[in-house]
Amino acid sequence: MDTLKISIKRILCAAVVAALSILSFAGFASASDEGRAAKIVKETCENCHRFSGPPKSKFTLDAPDMMWSGVKYQRDWALRWLEGKEEALYPNGYRWDSKKKDSKHPALSSSDAKAVADYMEKNFRDPRVQKNALDLSRFTEMEAGFGADIYKKYSCIGCHQIMEDGKKVGGPISVTLYSAGKRYTADWLYRFAANPQDFTPHSGEYLADLSALGARYIVGYLMTLGIDGYKYYEPWKSEYFQKADPERGAAVYKTYCAQCHGFKGEGDGPGAAGLDPKPAVHAKMPLSEMPEDYLYNVVYHGGKSVGKSPSMPDWGLTFPPQDFADLIKYLRVTFKGQ
Ligand code: HEC
Ligand code: HEC
Ligand code: HEC
């Protein structure tokens, strides 16, 4: 009996030892990747990049700062960059003010690149950059269009190149943005846009006067650059439209739209008197024939979004998504033209 107990104990011990050694081997393997990455960063990367310290002017640096590298890049892009498979980002070299040109960027083997990318993701996070700060899961093509307008109206194009009809356009001062959608995380861009000086002070950077929505448009737009067939959200194909209810829509119309368009859509609400052009006479328009996406944009983003009067308000911030679906259903079942 005793010998049996002893041998069972022995078998158990052997099993525990085996399990422990598998675990410690796994632990040892990743510790060694991490150690190898730390060594590469220290011995190679730190010759040019900083991985700690306060933000500083680029005119005192040799290469972009890496303190936030763990949250700035998309992993696939970071791997390609580290393996030397991406083109340079700064058309005139990182330091356009210096005659010295950037030497070819060191390229790592794919296993070293992976180890370094892991190491950056683990160690160089930035608490200012919040995960999912910007939700682009409902980003529409119209919003991207507003972002593209901002890109030109706020002189982004003066300093950062993008691609138009296969050609690079814009001032080649700072980083190129034509493949921004493959490179950055939206969260980092969103935080950067809030105040570039928190990252690249005294470097020739520029702070645009953007509202929260404006920041969404420009960052969302950047995230489409370089992505073939970017998948935009199409509200008129959403679950809200599937369960749209014209009676609920009628109530919204009465409260908000009748002020100008009149209770019956005759264009005779009290607001009409002071407006030129006059509010559309829905009762005479075949809204039933108008595409849902058009009606959605006109109501959500206002008359100005489709080249009509800005007196037709943009209701995007006023209503929840279900109201738009209900309203548009109401417009389409009620107004059939004459
Ligand atoms: C000899 C100097 C030098 C060394 C060494 C070096 N880099 Fe760079 N790195 C640069 C320069 C210069 C740029 C900007 C080049 C450009 O795109 O025009 C850059 C760009 C980058 C970028 C993109 C930066 C951005 O946000 O635009 C990453 C990521 C990067 N390096 C990571 C690394 C890592 C990791 C290492 C170590 C394996 C490393 N670099 C080693 C000089 C260097
Ligand atoms: C007057 C020139 C100028 C204008 C205008 C400008 N930028 Fe920049 N931008 C810079 C400079 C300089 C930097 C710092 C990076 C560097 O070049 O070292 C920078 C940095 C950036 C970065 C971060 C780059 C990186 O990878 O670290 C983004 C993204 C960016 N700008 C987007 C924009 C957008 C969007 C606009 C328009 C709202 C804009 N910029 C307008 C000069 C400009
Ligand atoms: C402050 C007045 C005002 C309010 C309130 C208003 N509209 Fe309008 N709306 C206008 C004006 C003005 C036009 C005509 C624009 C033009 O022709 O340039 C218009 C035009 C329209 C059109 C026609 C667009 C086209 O292609 O001709 C639709 C559809 C519409 N409004 C829907 C609505 C809905 C739905 C509401 C309520 C959520 C609403 N409007 C509330 C002023 C208003």
> What letter does residue 99 receive in the DSSP assignment?
S
Judge contact between 177 and 96, C-beta under 8 A. Answer: no
CB of 328 within 6 A of ligand 3: the answer is: no
Judge contact between 223 and 189, C-beta under 8 A. Answer: yes
Whole-number pLDDT of residue 27: 47
Average pLDDT over residues 120-142: 97
CA–CA separation, 303 and 252 (whole Å): 18
For the chain, which residues make up each domain, given as ranges?
57-233, 236-334
What would the two tokens of residue 141 be?
């093509």
Mean pLDDT over all residues of the chain? 93
Residue 1 has pLDDT above 70, yes or no: no
| CATH topology identical between 57-233 and 236-334 | yes
Top mutation candidate among 259, 260, 278 for ligand 3, by most atoms within 8 Å of CB: 260
- What does the pLDDT look like over 170-180, one tens digit per residue? 999 999 999 99
Q: How far is the CA of 40 from the centre of ligand 1 (A)?
A: 13
Closest ligand to C-alpha of residue 69 is 1
What would the two tokens of residue 158 be?
């003066």
Q: Which CATH number fits domain 236-334: 3.40.50.720, 1.10.760.10, 3.30.70.1290, 3.30.420.40?
A: 1.10.760.10
pLDDT band at 33 (very low <50, low <70, confident <90, very high): very high
DSSP calls for 256-314? IIHHHH-TTSSS-SGGGGG-SSPPP-GGGS-GGGS-HHHHHHHHHH-GGGGTS-TTS--
State the Cα angle at 168 between 164 and 174, rounded to 5°.
125
Give the CATH number of domain 57-233: 1.10.760.10
CA–CA separation, 40 and 86 (whole Å): 20
Q: How far is the CA of 320 from the centre of ligand 2 (A)?
A: 34
Average pLDDT over residues 24-51: 86
> What letter does residue 164 receive in the DSSP assignment?
E
CB of 174 within 6 A of ligand 2: the answer is: yes
Residue 6 has pLDDT above 80, yes or no: no
CA distances from 16 to 7, 8, 31 (A): 14, 12, 22
